Structure 1
Amino acid sequence: MKKLVFLVSICLSLLVTNSFAEQKKGLNVVLTAADAQTQQMAMVLSMMTLKQGKEVNMTLCSKAGDLAVIGMESEVLKPMNKSPKMMLQAIMQKGAKVEICPLYLPNAGKDVSVLIEGITVAKPPKVAEQLLNSDFTTLSY
């Protein structure tokens, strides 16, 4: 079953990245899932998009917000032997813009001091504007 999920995810990533590679400016990703495999798929598709020379805007909400917190670890997954958090940091190094939902920190009893360097608090009007931008494809997990 895991192999099937992996193969389907790879095929989906190729279809998604190839179908808008020439037409779109990039990808908006809204990630709320707590599941490590789902988080990893969001990271893989984001990386593939960046490798196509496109932009990635990611907003982390709910349990996915834990990925933005210093010291909170995430599960290492095969076949890459990387965690979603490791992949998050890699996409940020490649230029992805990553923001945390403004509801996450106060509801988790945290403040901006716990965020990984480079992650900022999202401003809902800006996120809405980006999500409505037809030059970007939006994926939500």
Structure 2
Amino acid sequence: MKKSNYATLFLAASLMVPMAVQASDHSVEKALILVNSGSLQTQGMAMVLGNAMQDQGTQVDVLLCDEAGDLALQETVSEELKPNDVTPEQLMMKLQQGGASVSVCALYLPNSGNARDALREGVDVAVPPAMAEKMLATDTRVFSF
């Protein structure tokens, strides 16, 4: 092959790469966000990203474990986070309004000393086999904070 043919082939291939990247589908149909951290900034960022995913058409579900389970309690009022002066639980409730399910880990209530009636409206207690099924679903991406 002549040198000019290699150059033409290389140029054609390099022009096709951006088209291939644009044509690939990076969308996620479902996202399961696991939040374990007691850090307000981490909790807040998990909810901010969940809302951003939801705004892009992804079905978002949230599982709160350990200290993050406190977000699910009616009595929890966290500090507002900059720059939008919102709390992680306000961001979580926005997710719920958009159709997200929010659950606490099955171990949270019995180990926190709280009863089910202490949970915010619309928050469930996760059932391990059902949660495992969500985590293993091929159309679900799992994110952990």
The question of a shared fold, defined as TM-score above 0.5 by the shorter chain, is answered with: yes
Amino acid in structure 2 at the alignment position of 1:27: A
Counterpart among 106, 119, 137 of residue 115 in structure 1? 119
Is 1:57–1:98's contact at 8 Å kept on the other side of the alignment? Answer: yes
Task: Choose 1 or 2 for highest CA Rg.
Answer: 2
Structure 2: runs of 5+ lacking an equivalent: 1-24
Q: Deviations over 1:75-102 (max 9, x none)?
A: 2100111010110111111111111111
Partner residue in 1 for 2:19: none
Deviation at 1:71, TM superposition (A): 1.3
2:140, 2:112 → 1: CA distance? 30
Is 1:27–1:136's contact at 8 Å kept on the other side of the alignment? Answer: yes
Counterpart among 47, 55, 62 of residue 58 in structure 1? 62
Partner residue in 1 for 2:132: 128
Is 1:49–1:56's contact at 8 Å kept on the other side of the alignment? Answer: yes
2:62, 2:26 → 1: CA distance? 18
SS of the residue 2:53 aligns to = helix
The answer to whether structure 1 residue 20 and structure 2 residue 32 are counterparts is no
Partner residue in 2 for 1:5: none
SS of the residue 1:40 aligns to = helix
SS of the residue 1:20 aligns to = coil
Partner residue in 2 for 1:14: none
Deviation at 1:117, TM superposition (A): 0.5
Q: How many residues align?
A: 121
Deviation at 1:136, TM superposition (A): 1.2
Counterpart among 98, 101, 111 of residue 105 in structure 2? 101
1:136, 1:66 → 2: CA distance? 25
The answer to whether structure 1 residue 40 and structure 2 residue 9 are counterparts is no
Amino acid in structure 2 at the alignment position of 1:39: Q
SS of the residue 1:29 aligns to = strand
Partner residue in 2 for 1:82: 86
1:55, 1:106 → 2: CA distance? 29
Stretches of 4+ moved more than 6 A in 1?
Answer: none
Amino acid in structure 1 at the alignment position of 2:141: T
Is 1:26–1:49's contact at 8 Å kept on the other side of the alignment? Answer: no
After TM superposition, the score normalised by the length of structure 1 is: 0.83
Partner residue in 2 for 1:67: 71
